[in-house]
Every structure is written in structure tokens, then in C-alpha cells.
């Protein structure tokens, strides 16, 4: 029987700084079980799923069943706590992104931006009604903020409007890039109150009158994720279905800040996935009469990939420690997202280059990580937007326009 140290080495071979030692025994066992499920059930068809832009059948249900938000294993030593540890949340996102970035994105939208819209935006009744069902995947959600003409500049205003008529709100507008909207049971839609010019958030059902959803086609990255357009024409929402605590962009920012570190976590896991895929390839590829893993230039690039992973993991663990203490700082999370997404781009490029022409084939996993890295680089705040958040803190001057 393996001891704890052996299990950790097998689970996280790229963790040369041994950061995973701080995970609890229950967290380690949960992650071990999750990896076993992913490898046995979903690995065989993963490349096909990505190439065909299809969510693996049963994935969402399986992740709800293992209880990544509620499993008792995750609360050993955390009795009385309402959420899993931030350190676990990093290693969870790291492990799932190492397997596939799209699958982590699907869960991140649901359990991060979507769920937190209800956690931070709902009143007591709304939280009690929706959060438990969302946490266990009885209901699906997403996050409908981004619009065709508004991404990083949503703080300046939204084109989607909400007009109060009696005890109802009438919504009109469009949303774009909304991951999982086509299967969401409840959609938190952010819109501008025409009377106050302040944003509000409304619980919309995908099948209600006036809602039209289609899936964006022909993406080159995150192909498994069904990103959607949402069209809203005179959609009626009762006042009781307005999330009562979303009344300004500062309220929206709380949701965004709570999940931005998750993109840094995701980028780190994707680096590790690229490293694993490259190692697998070089150990079986022969050139000039021997395995290319034996060549100096190949090993130098592998060493840089490993160093990038170790550095990014250390940064993420420190962010997790701060957030465990309740310290959610937008500059810190912007540093994590900006730097780790940049290093991800660098890391997947090195791996793709090592694999040569075969590195552009989907059957060799490095191609998947190479393509998906482009999406990670630009979402949850582009490189430039996160840089300006950091720059504002350094200079005291906002340079967003």
C-alpha cells in the first residue's frame, strides 16, 4: 500500500517544491479518486471530444456526484466551514486543467462566476433556494455578463437593458461568449436599469419566452466548451427573480475578483498538462537513432517548462493562502492571471516546438494545450487589462482609456 508521500509524488510529479504536502489527507484522497475517474473514463475519448467540439457525455453529472464542493473528504479538519479550502481549490483546478482546460472552464463558469452570482448577489431566500442545488449540480448555471460590443469595458455600461413595469422587469439585449448557456437551467443575466443607469442581475430561464440561444461555431480554442450567444427580446422577469444584492459594478466586481485567481490556477495546470504531453512524446519519439528525450536542447526546453510550472504553482499557493485568510486583492489576482497566462503561452509553445510537426496533431495532446492557451490568455481580463490594474496600483493613475 502506498504511503502519503508516494501518492503525492504520483499525483503531482511536477510539484518539485512539494507544495502539495499541505493538502489534508481527505483532499489528497479526493484528488486521487478524481484523477482515477478522469483517466479511466474520459481519457480514451478526450482528443475526439475536443476535435468534435463535444462535452464528454456524463461529465457534468459525474463531477456533481463526486461532490467537489460538498464531499465530506474535503471538510476533514474544516468542521463548521461552509466552503472547501483555497489550497484544495487550487489543486482541484490545477489537476482538472492538467487533464483538459475546457473541462475546468465548464466547471469554473458554473461553480465560480455562475454560482457566486447567487452567493454574492442573492438575498437569503435566493441563496437558500439555489446555492445547494447548484453546488450539487441538480441545477446548471452560467454567467451572462459579456456582450457583443462589451468585454473588458463593462464597467462603463451595458447595452442590455432592464425596464421596471409594475412588479416585472422587461429585458432586451444580447450576450456573447456565455459558456454553457445552452444547457443552463438558470442564467444570471446582467443588465442596465434604464431608470438609474446602474447594473442589476436577473434570473432568466433558457426556455422562457423571448430568450434565444445559439452556440458559437468554428472556435480554435476551448472547443469542448459550448460558448453561446443569448438574445433577449422583451423577456419578463419578476422582481422576486432579481438578485437583490447586485446594484452596482462594485457588486459585479466582487463576483469577478472571487474567481480571477481561478484563471491563474487553470493556467498553471495547463502548463503541467503541456509538460506531461511533451514528456510522453519525447520518450517514444526516435530521431537520428535515439529517443529525442536524450538530446541536450530538448532537455533544456523541458527544464524551462518544469521551472515555469514550479514558479506558477508557488505563486498560486501563496494566492490561495491569502484568500484562505479572507484577503481577496485585485492586484494580487491580476498578477497571478497576467503572469501565469503569459508563462502558459511560453510553455505550450516550447512543448509544441519540441514535438515538431506532430505537435499540431490533435492526437498528440500538446496541440490541444497549445490552442487552448490562447483563450486563457485573453479571458477573465486580457493581459493588458490586468497589467493596467497593476499599473494603477503602482502609479495611482488609471490608464484604461
Full set of structural domains in the chain with CATH:
4-135 (1.10.540.10), 154-247 (2.40.110.10), 250-395 (1.20.140.10)
Give SS3 for 135.
Answer: helix
Beta strand 286-287 pairing with 290-291: antiparallel
DSSP-assigned states of every residue in 82-143: SS--HHHHHHHHHHHHHH-HHHHHHHHIIIIIIHHHHHHH--HHHHHHHHHHHHTTSS-B--
From CA 215, how far away is CA 226, in angstroms rounded? Answer: 6
Beta bridge partners of 193: 162
Mean pLDDT throughout 38-64?
Answer: 96
Q: What is the pLDDT of residues 304-315, one digit of tens each?
A: 999 999 999 999
Question: Which has the closest alpha carbon to 304: 342, 343, 256?
Answer: 343
Q: What is the pLDDT of residues 22-39, one digit of tens each?
A: 999 999 999 999 999 999
pLDDT at 260 (0 to 100): 84
Q: How far is CA 401 from CA 139, 153, 308, 338, 379, in A?
A: 40, 10, 32, 19, 19
Q: What is the pLDDT of residues 146-166, one digit of tens each?
A: 999 876 666 667 999 999 999
Give SS3 for 1.
Answer: coil
Give SS3 for 79.
Answer: coil
Mean pLDDT throughout 276-298?
Answer: 95
C-alpha cell at 190: 446582467
Amino acid at each position: 500500500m502506498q504511503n502519503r508521500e508516494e501518492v503525492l509524488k504520483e499525483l503531482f510529479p511536477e510539484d518539485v517544491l512539494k507544495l502539495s504536502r499541505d493538502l489534508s489527507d481527505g483532499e489528497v484522497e479526493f484528488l486521487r479518486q478524481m484523477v482515477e475517474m478522469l483517466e479511466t473514463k474520459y481519457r480514451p475519448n478526450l482528443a475526439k471530444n475536443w476535435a468534435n467540439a463535444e462535452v464528454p457525455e456524463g461529465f457534468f453529472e459525474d463531477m456533481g456526484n463526486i461532490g467537489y464542493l460538498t464531499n465530506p473528504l474535503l471538510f476533514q479538519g474544516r468542521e463548521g466551514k461552509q466552503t472547501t479550502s483555497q489550497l484544495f481549490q487550487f489543486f482541484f483546478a490545477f489537476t482538472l486543467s492538467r487533464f483538459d482546460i475546457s473541462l475546468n472552464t465548464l466547471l469554473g463558469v458554473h461553480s465560480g462566476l455562475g454560482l457566486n452570482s447567487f452567493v454574492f448577489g442573492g438575498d437569503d431566500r435566493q441563496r437558500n433556494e439555489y446555492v445547494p442545488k447548484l453546488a450539487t449540480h441538480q441545477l446548471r448555471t452560467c454567467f451572462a455578463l459579456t456582450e457583443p460590443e462589451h468585454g473588458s469595458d463593462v464597467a462603463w455600461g451595458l447595452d442590455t437593458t432592464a425596464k421596471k413595469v409594475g412588479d416585472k422587469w422587461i429585458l432586451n439585449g444580447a450576450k456573447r461568449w456565455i459558456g454553457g448557456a445552452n444547457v443552463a437551467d438558470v442564467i444570471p443575466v446582467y443588465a442596465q436599469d434604464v431608470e438609474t443607469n446602474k447594473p442589476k442581475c436577473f434570473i432568466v430561464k433558457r426556455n422562457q419566452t423571448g430568450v434565444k440561444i445559439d452556440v458559437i461555431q468554428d472556435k480554435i480554442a476551448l472547443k469542448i466548451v459550448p460558448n453561446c450567444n443569448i438574445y433577449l427580446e422583451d423577456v419578463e422577469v419578476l422582481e422576486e427573480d432579481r438578485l437583490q444584492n447586485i446594484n452596482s459594478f462594485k457588486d459585479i466586481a466582487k463576483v469577478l475578483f472571487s474567481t480571477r485567481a481561478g484563471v491563474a490556477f487553470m493556467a498553471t495546470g495547463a502548463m503541467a498538462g503541456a509538460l506531461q504531453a511533451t514528456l510522453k512524446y519525447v520518450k517514444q519519439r526516435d530521431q537520428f537513432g535515439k529517443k529525442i528525450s536524450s538530446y541536450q536542447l530538448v532537455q533544456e526546453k523541458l527544464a524551462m517548462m518544469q521551472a515555469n510550472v514550479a514558479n506558477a504553482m508557488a505563486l498560486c499557493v501563496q494566492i490561495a493562502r491569502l484568500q484562505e485568510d479572507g484577503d481577496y486583492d485585485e492586484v494580487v489576482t491580476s498578477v497571478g492571471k497576467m503572469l501565469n497566462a503569459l508563462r502558459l503561452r511560453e510553455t505550450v509553445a516550447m512543448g509544441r516546438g519540441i514535438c515538431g510537426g506532430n505537435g499540431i496533431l490533435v492526437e498528440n495532446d500538446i496541440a490541444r494545450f497549445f490552442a487552448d492557451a490562447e483563450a486563457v490568455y485573453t479571458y477573465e481580463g486580457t493581459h493588458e487589462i490586468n497589467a493596467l490594474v497593476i499599473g494603477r496600483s503602482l502609479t495611482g493613475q488609471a490608464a484604461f482609456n
